[in-house]
Amino acid sequence: MRNVLVTGGAGFIGSNFVRYILQVEPQVHVVNLDALTYAGSLENLRALPDPERHTFVQGDIRDRPLVERLLVEHEIDAIVHFAAESHVDRSILGPQAFIETNVMGTFTLLEAARTVWGNRRDVRFHHISTDEVYGSLAPDDPPFSETTPYAPNSPYAASKAASDHLVRAYGHTYGLPVTITNCSNNYGPYQFPEKLIPLMLLNALEGKPLPVYGDGQQVRDWLYVEDHCEAIWLVLRRGAPGETYNIGGDNQPANLAIVRQLCALLDERFPDSPHTPHADLITHVRDRPGHDRRYAMDIRKIRTELGWRPRHTLSEGLRKTVDWYLANQDWVEAIRQREDYRAWMERNYAARE
């Protein structure tokens, strides 16, 4: 693979993947297509390694002529599809954008790839999905595997389930060489600060309340974003066409435990802070409607078939994440000064108090 089209490459996971590829694959050119909606930012693409191998294009994945032109002009031989609306709370308040981007956007990309690539087999369409398509687990249920039936519970999860089915169908019906990865909750550098870990970290630094939904006992599997990027590139190079691989961090803490661990790290970094102990800032707020109780990922397939496992423990990943946000306050301020960010935080959290 020499010319890779990354959709959503100015977002959190996408921008980390762009950095990863430019670092580890000196022969690869990356074409980065992003609409620069609220979660995508050129701030995420500053100081890229070897930037002459990166071409940024602002555009919408639903713009089929644009996508086809990029595939032809840049001789694209792999599409890595990150672009998606991805926040459950936003999908509850406004589901239409999720259908348009996640379903229609994926459909448009598939049609463009089918048209331009024809019957080629030396290409790959890789689709990034989520563990949320599988629904929610009871406390004693086994983890999600690649054969777990889909049971999405939010508009976001339903839109990703639909896009997964489309990708799989194009592989089966048209012979398009596709792979899918379903990942667990990502965290790490450049994550938009509406998500749990950066939100709690940044609020705690300023002595603001830490709004934990419900009793905070919702269980998630947490995956350090760099480990996710490594797994995706491995699937692209060695994964079998038509296959799905689950990617997870191999852990199952409750949300409240994550918040307390972040607070302990800040207590360690800033023992003289007026906000220490930071755990005193934890405030339980009204829960999200239909909040899934537990996710857990069975990663035996990717570990056995491709030899991948997460390099970072949760403790190591959280420490690196805290260090990154502390060292990049200019990035934080650039994001938090955006009007769309401030309006969303007010809309989502004010009503929960």
Q: Which residues are catalytic?
A: 131-132, 156
Find, among 41, 83, 35, 33, the residue nearest to 331 by Cα. Answer: 41
Q: Quick one: the chain helix, strand, coil %, rounded to 5? A: 50, 15, 35
Contact 45, 26 (CB under 8 A): no
Q: How far apart are CA 262 and CA 276, in angstroms?
A: 12
**DSSP 8-class letter at 105:** I
Which residues have C-beta within 8 Å of that of residue 169, sequence separation ≥ 6? none
277 prior amide bond cis, ω within 30:
yes
User: Where is 62: in which H helix or E strand?
Assistant: none
Rounded to 5 degrees, φ, ψ at 59 are: 180, 170
Contact 193, 41 (CB under 8 A): no
Place of tokens 């078939």: 305
CA-to-CA dists, residue 97 to 12, 14, 103, 108, angstroms: 18, 19, 10, 15
Give the E-state strand segments of 64-195 in sequence order: 78-81, 124-130, 178-183, 185-187
